[in-house]
Amino acid sequence: MHFKKKPVMGWKASLFSGFWFKAPPRDISLDGYRIDDVIHYTDFVIGIYFGIVAVVLLYLILRYRASRGHKADYDHGDTKKHVLITGALGIFVFLSVDMVIETLAFKDLKEAFWNFPKGDKVLRIEVLPQQFAWNFRYAGPDGDFGTKDDIVPVQNHMHIPVNTPVVIQLGSYDVIHSFFLPNFRIKQDATPGMITALWFQATETGEFEIACAELCGNGHYRMKGYLTIESMEDFNDWLADNAPVEEDEDDWGDEKDNGIPEDWGWTWKELK
């Protein structure tokens, strides 16, 4: 699979930056610019229309304000001329906003978000959210999920290598959650009884937030995960450090219920 280089926003970034009350999280993904472009276009066009409406309203307020000797002229606005003008304006707005956004969205879905990468270089991760934490599972050396060599790190901590496509498959342990990576401009619901998926690729290293974008209970506010993006060498070292260790079967220590699901996971579902 060939990936397109992320374009430099240049004038777009400076032109549209004023539309944000607060700067959005830094985009560190291969395709996050696509989401930003759609938002920027929407803001720009709606901003123009809002300005036109404001100017027209101001003119009408001043032109037809109450004054001595002026008699009100009542108009229902249902004449043929008014209907045609209203219809033409509605069609123009529909074509310039809705149709353009839909065209851009389906183009991005086909070129990127629905175009799941395949091959040996793809990192696969199973994610199981629960009230109120994130569980992650990596296939072990055998490359299969649901086997004894699977790597399940501590809750809420996910590691991935930089410049590597990552495919996520999501299940849910209890209620609906939503896997949200603000710095990648992507989110996907985790629905009970279903396996959903998404993919992304990081272009920078660092530590970033994993959020739940679906109200999932009274502890939703503390359902925060931590994404660490690192070099492939550091990632492999992290996997080795988290590899499962065989425990003695005659360990009679008291086992405590720490709320972490046991033996979870599913057979990886290859996406076509």
Nearest of 50, 20, 45, 31 to residue 98 by alpha carbon: 45
- Whether 1 and 117 have beta carbons less than 8 Å apart is answered as yes
| Mean pLDDT of the region 70-85 | 84
Give the pLDDT score at 198. Answer: 94
Give the pLDDT score at 23. Answer: 77
Nearest of 124, 129, 165, 167 to residue 146 by alpha carbon: 124
Q: Which residues contact 77 (CB under 8 A, 6 or more apart)?
A: 86
Give 66's pLDDT tier (boundaries 50, 70, 90): confident
Give 78's pLDDT tier (boundaries 50, 70, 90): confident
- Whether 209 and 180 have beta carbons less than 8 Å apart is answered as no
Count Cα neighbours of 154 within 13 Å in the Cβ-side half-sphere. Answer: 4
Per-residue pLDDT tens digits for 141-194:
988 998 889 999 999 999 999 999 999 999 999 999 999 999 999 999 999 999
Q: How much of the chain, in percent, has pLDDT values that exceed 90?
A: 65
Residue that has been written with the tokens 């070129």 in this structure: 111
Asked if pLDDT for residue 256 goes beyond 90, the answer is no
| Mean pLDDT of the region 39-58 | 93
Asked if pLDDT for residue 18 goes beyond 90, the answer is no
Give 68's pLDDT tier (boundaries 50, 70, 90): confident
pTM score? 0.79
Secondary structure of 163-231 in HEC code, one letter for each residue: CCEEEEEECCCCCCEEEEEHHHCEEEEECCCCCEEEEEEECCCEEEEEEECCCCCCCHHHCEEEEEEEC
Per-residue pLDDT tens digits for 205-252:
999 999 999 999 999 999 999 999 999 999 999 999 998 877 655 454
Q: How much of the chain, in percent, has pLDDT values that exceed 70?
A: 86
